[in-house]
Structure 1
Amino acid sequence: MEASSTIRNMLANNRIVVPTYQRAYAWDTPAEGSTRVSQTAVFLSDLEAYRSSNSRSPYYFGHFLFEQTQGEYRVIDGQQRLTTITLFLAALFACLQAKRALTEDEQDCYKDMIKRESQIRFKTVGYDNQTFVDYVINQSRTVAPASLTTSAQRLINAFDFFKKKLGSQPEAFLTDMLRIVSQASCSTHPVRDEAEAIQMFIFQNNRGKRPSNLEVVKAQFMYAIHLHSEDQQARDNLIEEIQNRFETIYKSISAIDYRINEDDVLQHTLRVHFNSLWESGALDRIEKMLTAESPLEFVKDFTSSLATSFEHLTAFFGADERSSFPIHSLVSLGGIGIVLPFILKAYSFGLPLPDKNQLCVAFESLIIRHRLIGTRADITSRINDTYEAFTSDAPAIGPILENIERLKTVGSGWWAYWNNEKLAEA
């Protein structure tokens, strides 16, 4: 792979994949009739502006970092752009073929940048790749699967967006766009060691547009495995386990997206894992654990806890909310972050739905009281002791309910901010 290249030459005769420690496709697409600016809309408008400018210099797509392995290149930095380029080209070829047969040069261009026989040039993250292949590359299905990760839905949305926009354009516009993108310039830098690649990913993203904390943690965990594994077999086994955990996590994110931020789930999981509501600063805490003794035990245990948290919140915001008015009422109230560590424990302890309902009712009354009275009094300091005592060895919710009732009736002192008299005054 040449340091200075074109998009066509970079893709031709190469197999480029998105590795597991990379974030999935994250670019948004504007909804039908929306005037909101999105990354895919900007991508297209920039190309249209370049076409109108009649510039003699090639369009520039920026710099790409790769980890070079036997037979493939893994994207370290630039995968959002590269994924979008592939989505755009796949839509462009589909629209061009709808108008007429591809010329011989266009067929060669397709083989260089999209697919030659069974060899697909670009592969996205594993849990999204089959959808990507079926819907975008082969276009063998036109209806999205019933169960999708959020990132897979974004892939479909972007492809449909480009296909609709390009489908209404004349043939000359399409051929111009194919020429612009295929001949666009770019620069590349491959490295050969996966541990170095992960380090570069963390370095690049800490100095550019940051990924989510969850994605940074995933990269840190993968690097720790490479750094501390005793042998190849142990490393491969743990990497496979972490990959499977994160596949579960991403599928759960698809179900609870727009209900709770993935980084908030990371923070709540820390509070459950270390049994304290005072846990904050997820990245600092995790970095500290990775430099302590037995970092790989922490990676294994915490990733399991994280996947479990996402599974439980999928149930809480999904089937359980639909069947339980107390849960639905609490969720509708919003601002319930302080409650969720209790909820995650309740699910982990296997408590029945009536107990979860009682927790939701009690905390809802406390949150409403806090908002109505408008006090700055801190909730965490008043419930953390009860939270720490709520364990698998003592899973009863009675002490939690009693503590909340005590906050409503205490007559004096700094605990009295939320009592019934203050509520009546408010």
Structure 2
Amino acid sequence: MEFKQTTILGFFDSSQKNYEIPVYQRAYAWDKKNWEIFLEDIVEQLNGDNSYFYGNILLETIKKDRNYEVIDGQQRLTTLTIFMRALLNVIEHRKNDSLLDDFDIEEKIRIYIKNSGNIKLRPVEYDRACFDAIIVDNKNKFEFNTPSQKKMFEAKEFFTKKLSDLSTNKVLDIFEKIEYTELTTIELTSKKDAALMFELQNNRGKDLTNMEKLKSYFMYQMYVYSNEDETNTNIENISNIFKDIYKLINDIKLDEDSILIYHNQAYIKGYPYRTLEDLKDEFKKTEDKIFWIKEYINELHTTFSNIKKFELFSSKYKSYLEHLGISAFIYPFIIKGFKFFGNDNYKLDELFKVLEIVLFRAKLINSRANIQERLNKILLGFEGDVNTLKRNIKNKLNESWYWGDENTENHFNTENMYDNNVLNYLLWRYENFLQSKGYNIKNFSIENEQIEHISPRQPNNGVIENGYDIDENSEYDEEFHTEYLNCIGNLMLISGSHNASIGNKPFNEKLNSYNKNPLLNQQAEIKSFAKEEDGKPVWKKESIDERHKKIVDFGLDTWSL
């Protein structure tokens, strides 16, 4: 183990030296907030006399004075290299400025970016083509395949824009400050030492993801508990599995730490799982710790793989779940479902159907009571039998009352459905029901989607037009205001432009508009509920009651367990 005090200039200034980020490390993940802090720190240092300290960089020596793997510090080094490229671009753009007469830009490119065929920093393998194009070769276009590639491009654009706003004097001051910024390199010669130091570094409060903390913790535990002749092999095993997990992360929309939580809820402790300390407590109870770690990380890899499969999965109830908005408590069931059902699409969609019902009820009722407490034992006991799962959930939700059949019906019949956060989703599912072939709510949309009050809310001028349930003063009675105006029987999906065009017009004019432009069948069917008075259609309590009952019956049937 070797400690070296150096500067950023000293760190990069060698024709042969290069640094590689191994593929078991996470890809580039810094965003605008991190870039802003990075730049603010540098600018702030310009006002002081003290040297700027960039921290420790932990390296594994592959070939002394030539090739190193970056064990810790990859986000900072990648950002630094991108920043130097942006800084050199700004200087290049101002090359005719007399202040830059003595600045050798080609020399700086050789030091920080590329010296002949030696590229100074190599990111994770699957991002190298992008890095080489936009940073090394300084191109402005690339077909991004991973979120990390897009972040590298955006970082270059961000720094270029910010630096372009500064004077040439200030740009040169920043360059000099960066070159003589101090850092410490810690060079290690084996995977064992790397595991030990990485864990010690991470215990110093560094801002890492929980996935990175878990990786370092397990590598260190392998160091502690492995037989001496198996230590390197076991640590490499951890590295290789995390390499595959990080490859998967780049293809997944859900963030890695959330997946880690859902995985541990599915297999470790249920919903009460909160932090890595819960996981460590379980680990400490085991006798064969090496076996436990290997089993755990293999299962974790399977979970990430299955989350990717889920995101690519196409089915009716999966699309319903997504349109409804998947709450966190649903994902542990999805993770276990893919484990038990594999590629059985029918069983998976049956599971999604059950989960959609539970999720819909939870969002419809939106109780302060904790649904996770009720489902925890069911989650931990779920081993792939959907019928048993459905029966257990039904019994538990009815036993709890909050999300049971009775309270679900109560909420369908609420007098103020207008403010419920599942109203739009419910009316889209109702539209599917009305269509002979059905719309796919994921793929079909209406422009500027809004909710129409068929009997209009009180207009600004206080006058409600004819055809509605009003008295001689053109006003609704108290019962209509409290029980009918915002109930589901009086609410309908409509486009924003259509809604604006009909406003608070008399009902017969609204009805003609619905009939002429029935984009949705729920608009066209209003005529079947309308009554007639004095030869004109009217929309009163009786009509609303009939439509309300039809939609409620549909809802109770659709979201029944």
TM-score class, shorter-chain normalisation, is 0.7 to 0.9
Q: State the alpha-carbon separation in 1 of the partners of residues 255 and 130 from structure 2.
A: 24
Spell out, residue by residue over 1:161-205, the C-alpha distance to the aligned partner (whole angstroms, 9 max, x if none): 223444566655544433232133344454555434433333333
Q: CA deviation at 1:8?
A: 0.3
Spell out, residue by residue over 1:136-178, the C-alpha distance to the aligned partner (whole angstroms, 9 max, x if none): 1233x54334421x33332222123223444566655544433
Counterpart of 2:391 (choices 393, 402, 422) is 402
Q: CA deviation at 1:377?
A: 4.3
For the pair 1:92 / 2:84, whether they are aligned, the reply is no
For the pair 1:153 / 2:150, whether they are aligned, the reply is yes
Q: CA deviation at 1:64?
A: 1.5
Q: Secondary structure at the match of 1:418?
A: coil
Counterpart of 1:424 (choices 391, 394, 409) is 409
Q: Conserved in 1, the CA contact under 8 Å of 2:29 and 2:151? A: yes
Q: CA deviation at 1:44?
A: 2.7
Correspondence for 2:141: 143
Q: Which amino acid aligns with 1:147?
A: N
For the pair 1:212 / 2:215, whether they are aligned, the reply is no
Counterpart of 1:342 (choices 312, 333, 345) is 333
For the pair 1:181 / 2:178, whether they are aligned, the reply is yes
Query: Cα gap change, 1:303/1:152 in structure 2, threshold over 3 Å: closer, same or farther?
Result: farther
Q: Conserved in 2, the CA contact under 8 Å of 1:22 and 1:219? A: no
Q: Conserved in 1, the CA contact under 8 Å of 2:24 and 2:246? A: no
Correspondence for 1:34: none
Give matches, 1:11-30, under 5 Å. 11-13=12-14, 14-19=17-22, 22-29=25-32
Correspondence for 1:163: 160
Q: Which amino acid aligns with 1:26?
A: A
Q: Which amino acid aligns with 1:10?
A: F
Counterpart of 2:256 (choices 251, 254, 262) is 262
For the pair 1:9 / 2:4, whether they are aligned, the reply is no
Query: Cα gap change, 1:203/1:399 in structure 2, threshold over 3 Å: closer, same or farther?
Result: same
Q: Secondary structure at the match of 2:401?
A: helix
Q: Which amino acid aligns with 2:106?
A: Q
Q: Conserved in 1, the CA contact under 8 Å of 2:24 and 2:244? A: no
Q: Conserved in 1, the CA contact under 8 Å of 2:191 and 2:232? A: no
Q: State the alpha-carbon separation in 1 of the partners of residues 144 and 186 from structure 2.
A: 39
Q: CA deviation at 1:116?
A: 2.0
Query: More deviation in 371-380 or 303-312?
Result: 371-380
Q: Which amino acid aligns with 1:60?
A: Y
The alignment's TM-score, normalised by the length of structure 1, stands at 0.79
Number of aligned residues: 400
The alignment's TM-score, normalised by the length of structure 2, stands at 0.62
Q: Which amino acid aligns with 1:41?
A: E
Correspondence for 1:41: 36
For the pair 1:111 / 2:110, whether they are aligned, the reply is yes
Q: Conserved in 1, the CA contact under 8 Å of 2:365 and 2:408? A: yes
Q: Secondary structure at the match of 1:66?
A: strand
Correspondence for 2:324: 333
Q: State the alpha-carbon separation in 2 of the partners of residues 131 and 77 from structure 1.
A: 22
Q: Conserved in 1, the CA contact under 8 Å of 2:195 and 2:235? A: no
Spell out, residue by residue over 1:47-82, the C-alpha distance to the aligned partner (whole angstroms, 9 max, x if none): 44555x4x5x36514322424524245545544333
Q: State the alpha-carbon separation in 1 of the partners of residues 182 and 209 from structure 2.
A: 29
Q: Conserved in 1, the CA contact under 8 Å of 2:144 and 2:150? A: no
Q: Which amino acid aligns with 1:25?
A: Y
Q: Conserved in 2, the CA contact under 8 Å of 1:76 and 1:200? A: no
Q: CA deviation at 1:223?
A: 2.3
Q: Conserved in 1, the CA contact under 8 Å of 2:7 and 2:179? A: yes
Q: State the alpha-carbon separation in 2 of the partners of residues 184 and 282 from structure 1.
A: 35
Q: CA deviation at 1:121?
A: 2.7
Q: State the alpha-carbon separation in 1 of the partners of residues 192 and 135 from structure 2.
A: 31
Q: Which amino acid aligns with 1:423?
A: T
Q: State the alpha-carbon separation in 2 of the partners of residues 20 and 378 from structure 1.
A: 41
Correspondence for 1:66: 58
Query: Cα gap change, 1:400/1:299 in structure 2, threshold over 3 Å: closer, same or farther?
Result: same
Counterpart of 1:299 (choices 293, 303, 311) is 293
Correspondence for 1:81: 76
Aligned residues with identical type, % of pairs:
28
Q: State the alpha-carbon separation in 2 of the partners of residues 46 and 291 from structure 1.
A: 44
Q: Secondary structure at the match of 2:250?
A: helix
Q: State the alpha-carbon separation in 2 of the partners of residues 275 and 177 from structure 1.
A: 50
Q: State the alpha-carbon separation in 2 of the partners of residues 74 and 247 from structure 1.
A: 14
Counterpart of 1:251 (choices 228, 240, 247) is 247
Q: Which amino acid aligns with 2:351?
A: L
Structure 2 unaligned regions, length at least 5: 412-561
Q: Which amino acid aligns with 2:18?
A: R
Correspondence for 1:357: 349
Query: Cα gap change, 1:73/1:254 in structure 2, threshold over 3 Å: closer, same or farther?
Result: closer
Query: Cα gap change, 1:351/1:271 in structure 2, threshold over 3 Å: closer, same or farther?
Result: farther
Q: Which amino acid aligns with 2:244?
A: T
Query: Cα gap change, 1:138/1:416 in structure 2, threshold over 3 Å: closer, same or farther?
Result: same
Correspondence for 2:502: none
Q: CA deviation at 1:85?
A: 1.5
Q: Conserved in 1, the CA contact under 8 Å of 2:266 and 2:335? A: yes
Q: Conserved in 2, the CA contact under 8 Å of 1:5 and 1:185? A: yes
Spell out, residue by residue over 1:352-397, the C-alpha distance to the aligned partner (whole angstroms, 9 max, x if none): 3343333333223323333444545443454445444432xxx331
Higher relative contact order (CA 8 A, sep 6+): 1
Q: Secondary structure at the match of 1:285?
A: helix
Counterpart of 1:203 (choices 197, 200, 205) is 200
Counterpart of 1:366 (choices 348, 358, 361) is 358
Q: Conserved in 2, the CA contact under 8 Å of 1:67 and 1:193? A: no
Query: Cα gap change, 1:345/1:214 in structure 2, threshold over 3 Å: closer, same or farther?
Result: same
Q: Which amino acid aligns with 2:259?
A: V
Query: Cα gap change, 1:368/1:95 in structure 2, threshold over 3 Å: closer, same or farther?
Result: same
Q: State the alpha-carbon separation in 1 of the partners of residues 153 and 55 from structure 2.
A: 25
Correspondence for 2:315: 324
Bigger Rg, which one? 2
Q: CA deviation at 1:231?
A: 6.0
Q: CA deviation at 1:217?
A: 0.9
Q: Conserved in 1, the CA contact under 8 Å of 2:268 and 2:282? A: no
CA RMSD across the alignment: 3.5
Q: State the alpha-carbon separation in 2 of the partners of residues 210 and 43 from structure 1.
A: 14
Spell out, residue by residue over 1:66-102, the C-alpha distance to the aligned partner (whole angstroms, 9 max, x if none): 2452424554554433322211112222343455499
Q: Conserved in 2, the CA contact under 8 Å of 1:198 and 1:223? A: yes
Q: Which amino acid aligns with 1:216?
A: K
Correspondence for 2:308: 314
Q: State the alpha-carbon separation in 1 of the partners of residues 50 and 92 from structure 2.
A: 25
Q: CA deviation at 1:405?
A: 3.2
Structure 1 unaligned regions, length at least 5: 30-37
